[in-house]
Chain A
């Protein structure tokens, strides 16, 4: 049985690599596998949901795009997907992609395109109902009435357009990590798996309620300063080590510590970075390689 292939390009201020999407599309074309390219699924599903009829009704489909969990719940929450239809979701950068594609049968359909032409950036929360326990923290937390409760007690995203661009705050307060912002840069808010249970808890919230608030806050500040100091020391040590290395080893070291493959020169000289262009590059607006902290969001 042939599977229907969908690819979301996350084009509206998105965060997935254009290159990866392009590569995937050419691979499919080479193999004569038809696919549907969705410019921006978050946008279309909210603004022109009818355009995705083929996805809702597909008997057996594979969707490539951002985090699998994000896409799955985005589509499920539309309430339009035909029940019982199997749809697999994969990140465009998933390791098992080749295997997946080689198992597909070729067919001769032409690639289709679903456009998203609205100027609004589709930034809004998606609830993972496998995790949500209906505690309503998000409802009380959001200042803009994005959430509401249905008669049966289900918390729903009822006013997506009220959501403030780039604000993922409700996702951070969710004790179940059940709120996804597909276009966010960090896991698990972007739909990454996280540990699937609870937000990591220190007992600071309990402490401020039961102990002397002022000493708790002072201790928090102190701990944080110590951790910053440690980080600085670590950074310094890395730089020193790099300075000691010979040319050949140097490149090796860089790869290990930075995991950054942009071709700007900021890595070599983290101090003078004003002219570094990697931030403005079209591939990723949140490159943090300047800090040299090997961030998860580093390009």
Chain B
């Protein structure tokens, strides 16, 4: 039976006062409340809930408007930043349901309704007002284009009009991407002939402070800048020697890679200093040093894991041989420290300490994993998380700390970054593990799945399954490589790992709460989502 007739199951508690005066009154209350406590965006969902709870405690009559309060609190947190964003960098999202439900002559494209401004509904007036100011307006149907825009990572500011339902849907996305955004709820939730409080909308649309907010970090343009530094000629000048081994190292540095670490370093530096695109030789050398450490660890990792390919090409020890590869890795480590020493940075000692601690921890994490492989005993959950924390977190931490140290950040910020990187690194590694299990078959056999959180979780609950996998692999039974991924026990373990991934992502965000620099808070929130994507 495919047609079913269920009653609507939409939850209530999302009332909205139907008068502009009442709405204004609540906005004023929130302004007074926010004056007492500092609201640094982006606020996490729990923070918004906490503040709306506080407000209701002070003004019990507001309990009917819980969701509205959440929207307004979030708006307030963003308002100062939004006011600093030029109108022509803002996008206004209007809902299609404002249009006349039967007589709207407009056509649609994939982004939404193409308003002809016929005047049958309020859209014409709103759009011409927004046009005059310089907004980019989209009349959307549902939340698809809103989601797309928010997740594109290229939008600097969004003003959204919609029903409270739709905000519930898009709020998590706006938080994840840390896009400066303001929301204005519709009076009704009927999805047709909707009305919005024009006084409020007007207030928001025309909000503009004299100074521009300079905190939007354009990751794409940083990426572009960084690319130049890894061109062969640039690296040759930096490394300063013409030698066969050096040339192999330069080619390995030059080969693809996302350059996440240098990008992160520059982004943090930009966020803290408020400058962008102004990078001197010191910064360049430090960015290259970070990449040297990273690329060295990849060469050595590929040898240890017996991987034949990276970036779709033969790994260095496959192209040459293992001794050559080990030596090139070592050379890059040397260059890494050399670049720091010759960077003429103000805090060379601090930088050296961060780099060497990162180097040491990585080797300890890697060491624990390698020694485990020798004794064949399965790891516990604690052990595996410790390995992750040692093995993956330092790489991010070094990059983040370098950016912060260069910008003269205080201890407080360095500590927050430390806590954030630890959670970020673990989340990254869990996600990386999960990727191996999201395939249809295990790519390079037992070694890929063994030192992973998923197999550890599986082994904890179903040791006999893990044993079966082990035995069949030992006996050369290749069907296990596909079958293993289809077991419901494996899928269950993946689900648990996904839940842990979610927890570590949350921990990373929690670490950011005490940050009172919105620019850095916004950046690190965005980075988390870029480095560890996913819906959670």
Contacts and interface: CB of A to CB of B under 8 A. Distances in A.
Tell whether A pairs with B. Answer: yes
Contacts of A214: 88-89, 136
A217 interface: yes
Contacts of B91: 213, 217
Nearest to B168: A143
B10 A212 contact: no
A100 interface: no
Nearest to B101: A166
Interface in A65-104: 77-80
Contacts, number: 126
B3 A213 contact: no
Contacts of A144: 8, 10, 165
Interface of A: 45-47, 49, 77-80, 127, 137, 141-145, 156-162, 164-167, 169-170, 172-173, 199, 201-202, 204-205, 208-209, 212-214, 217-218, 220-221, 224, 228, 279, 285-286, 288, 291, 293, 295
B424 interface: no
Given A161-B6, A213-B152, A224-B114, A166 B192 contact: yes
A80 B109 CA distance: 37
Nearest to B190: A164
Given A173-B144, A209-B148, A221-B136, A162 B1 contact: no
Contacts of A142: 142
A161 B8 contact: yes
Given A143-B165, A159-B8, A170 B148 contact: no
B166 A46 contact: no
B347 to A, nearest CB: 37
B237 interface: no
B375 interface: no
Contacts of A213: 91, 136, 149, 152, 154-155
Contacts of A167: 97, 191-192
A127 B91 CA distance: 34
Contacts of B89: 214
B7 interface: yes
Chain B interface category by residue count: 35 or more
A158 B4 contact: yes
A286 B190 CA distance: 20
B357 interface: no
Nearest to B7: A161
Contacts of B109: 202, 204, 220
A171 B91 CA distance: 25
B108 interface: yes
Contacts of A161: 5-8
A195 to B, nearest CB: 16
A127 B7 CA distance: 20
B155 A202 contact: no
Given A141-B143, A143-B142, A209 B110 contact: no
A202 B110 CA distance: 8
B141 interface: yes
A201 B110 CA distance: 8
Contact of B1 (A79, A201, A202, A209): A79
A78 B144 contact: no
Interface in B1-46: 1-10
A295 B105 contact: yes
26 contacts: A45-B3, A77-B2, A78-B2, A79-B2, A127-B2, A141-B143, A142-B142, A157-B2, A159-B7, A159-B9, A160-B3, A161-B6, A161-B8, A162-B6, A166-B101, A172-B108, A173-B142, A209-B148, A213-B136, A213-B155, A218-B136, A221-B137, A228-B116, A288-B103, A291-B105, A291-B118
B102 interface: yes
Nearest to B6: A159
Given A143-B166, A159-B8, A78 B3 contact: yes
A184 to B, nearest CB: 11
A251 to B, nearest CB: 26
B5 A46 contact: yes
A49 B209 CA distance: 61
B192 A156 contact: no
Nearest to A49: B3
Contacts of B6: 158-162
Given A167-B191, A220-B109, A286 B148 contact: no
Nearest to A120: B5
B317 interface: no
A255 B191 CA distance: 37
A164 B103 CA distance: 17
A157 B102 contact: no
Contacts of A49: 3
A291 B166 CA distance: 33
A143 B192 contact: no
B3 A157 contact: yes
Contacts of B3: 45-46, 49, 77-79, 157, 160
Given A45-B3, A79-B2, A157-B2, 13 more contacts: A46-B3, A143-B143, A159-B5, A161-B7, A172-B141, A173-B141, A173-B144, A213-B91, A213-B154, A213-B155, A214-B89, A217-B138, A218-B136
B9 A170 contact: no
Contacts of A286: 102-103
A228 B116 CA distance: 8
Contacts of A285: 102
B191 A164 contact: yes
Question: Which among A49, A80, A162 has the greatest number of chain B C-beta atoms within 10 A?
Answer: A162
A173 B140 CA distance: 11
B96 interface: yes
A155 B152 CA distance: 28
Interface string B496-523: 0000000000000000000000000000
Given A79-B3, A143-B142, A173-B144, A208 B111 contact: yes
B166 A160 contact: no
Nearest to A209: B152
Interface in B363-398: none
A162 B136 contact: no
B353 interface: no
Nearest to A201: B110
Interface in B120-161: 136-138, 141-144, 148-149, 152, 154-155
A81 to B, nearest CB: 11
A204 B148 CA distance: 11
Nearest to B117: A228
Contacts of B251: none
Contacts of A143: 142-143, 163, 165-166, 169, 191
A220 B111 contact: yes
A127 B105 CA distance: 26
Contacts of A47: 5
A143 B103 CA distance: 24
